[in-house]
Amino acid sequence: MIDFRLEEEHEALRKTVQEFAREEVAPVIGDYYERGEFPYDIVAKMGQMGLFGLPFPESVGGMGGDYFTLCLALEELARVDSSVAITLEAGVSLGAMPIYRFGSQEQKEQWLPKLVAGEALGAFGLTEPGGGSDAGATRTTARRDGDSWVINGTKAFITNSGTDITRLVTVTAVTGERDGRKQISAIIVPSGTQGFAVSKKYSKVGWSASDTRELSFADCAVPVSNLLGQEGRGYAQFLSTLDEGRVAISALSVGLAQGCVDECVRYAGEREAFGHKIGEYQAIQFKIADMEARTHVARLAYYDAAARMLRNQPFKRQAAIAKLISSEAAMDNARDATQIFGGYGFMNEFPVGRFYRDAKILEIGEGTSEVQRMLIARELGLTRPWQ
């Protein structure tokens, strides 16, 4: 029997985060967004609730949940605001999870307690100014010099990398070459390390209350023991990290899409035109019905990908499908919601204005829609003619 109902603990968690998002985030996040200010107090509350520790075992200070609980939390947060949701997603999936998955016992003991408690944030330095989707074109290098790795290069668009509570960035760098191919490794660089510079915040179209920066490394030396996992396995580690992250971004996208539905249903029941509530007009009803249908399908897609991941089954194709479908649903719903709100939808004081600005990056970050289609095709056995 197929049953899509949430288990009791999952439903309890979802309701708790939903209440937090509505009562603690929604009333204040608009001001943070307009100021382009990082919401430290909200992040601290999320840490106290245990949200940063959701998918980690109690042995490392986590809540003993699973990755699906994180996805449910992200959906409910993004239903209200995506800046807060992406801060949690990146803090867990890109900051703490690589250390939990691939770190040594010493690295776990050093970094995980504060990361899973939300008292500190970690970031993942992959993208570079000249290479986003083509991660294999990494130019940042790390060479051995005695007991140190000496890192040189630049990273771009790195989330959570420059806050007051950021404690580390895990950086991918070329550490050698084998059979004519670059060997890419992942190395932990603590914040404040000499030679590691964090730029000022980007001026972004959306996610204005999240932290995103460019990073530069100039003869930045860290101990050899800061290597994360095996030397030369950084690329494979990052692919694994992104597969999981795409499920999380899908959940976040579903949250934004659902938030658009919520706002439009409310507005359609209040706004009058030509003597009637606009929700009485079939043109509006059909548009909102399409929005709800997109959201429902996208949610099922990420539920399926998450279920396969938790069963330790292959889920790369399902993660790519979920990320593709949900990010496009978020973008379509944000556009339709803005249309339904009319002039008010173009005002930042209304949530749909933020939703519209936040939605586009979901089709780009953690693998563009084009990359997702490429992955799906490849999983189906379709290859490029030069392969």
* pLDDT tens column, 341-351: 999 999 988 99
- 324, 294 contact by CB (below 8 A): no
Q: Quote the strand ranges of the chain, DSSP E.
A: 121-125, 141-145, 148-159, 166-178, 181-190, 196-198, 212-223, 227-228, 272-273, 276-277
- Residue 229 φ then ψ, to 5°: 75, -155
- 9, 66 contact by CB (below 8 A): no
- In 3D space, the residue among 254, 306, 305, 248 whose CA is nearest the CA of residue 93 turns out to be 248
pLDDT tops 90 at residue 315: yes
pLDDT tops 80 at residue 132: no
Model pLDDT, residue 106:
97
Model pLDDT, residue 240:
83
pLDDT tops 60 at residue 387: no
pLDDT-above-90 percentage for the chain: 88
pLDDT digits (tens, 9 = 90+) for 274-289: 999 999 999 999 999 9
pLDDT digits (tens, 9 = 90+) for 30-50: 999 999 999 999 999 999 999
Model pLDDT, residue 44:
98
- In 3D space, the residue among 198, 241, 223 whose CA is nearest the CA of residue 148 turns out to be 223
Model pLDDT, residue 179:
79
Which residue has 């307009």 as its token pair? 34
- 195, 216 contact by CB (below 8 A): no
pLDDT tops 80 at residue 133: no
* 50-65 average pLDDT score: 95
Q: Name all domains of the chain by residue range, CATH numbers in brackets.
A: 8-121 (1.10.540.10), 122-232 (2.40.110.10), 236-379 (1.20.140.10)
Active site residues: 366
Average pLDDT, the chain: 94
Helix 8-20 crosses helix 40-49 at what angle (to 10 degrees)? 160
pLDDT digits (tens, 9 = 90+) for 201-237: 999 999 999 999 999 999 999 999 999 999 999 888 8
Dihedral sign (CA 13, 32, 347, 205): negative
* 326-350 average pLDDT score: 95
